[in-house]
Amino acid sequence: MPDTKRGRERQGRKKREQLERRLNRREVETIDDEDEPEYPPTELEADLLSADAEADD
């Protein structure tokens, strides 16, 4: 199969679309990761949580 300019352009477009999809997927994954709380809580968060619990009593 001969190497044509049209074929190279099409291959370049497909590669660009593939990379864009991969970047979009990574962005969605990182956004989803940011929404989840960190477990176990850090010392500061644990202190704040225990202070809230004591205030409720």
pLDDT in the model for residue 54: 60
DSSP annotation string for 12-52: HHHHHHHHHHHHHHHHHHHHHHHHSPPSSPPHHHHHHHHHH
Q: Between these two residues, 13 and 43, which has the higher pLDDT value?
A: 13
Q: What is the structure's pLDDT at 45? A: 72
- What's the pLDDT tens digit per position in 18-53? 999 999 998 887 776 666 666 666 777 777 777 666
The Cα angle at residue 42 between residues 35 and 44, in degrees rounded to 5: 110
Domain count of the chain? 1
Model-wide pTM > 0.95: no
Range of the domain at 27: 5-56
Q: Using an 8 Å Cβ cutoff, are 35 and 28 in contact? A: no
Query: Which backbone phi and psi does 22 adopt, to 5 degrees?
Result: -65, -45
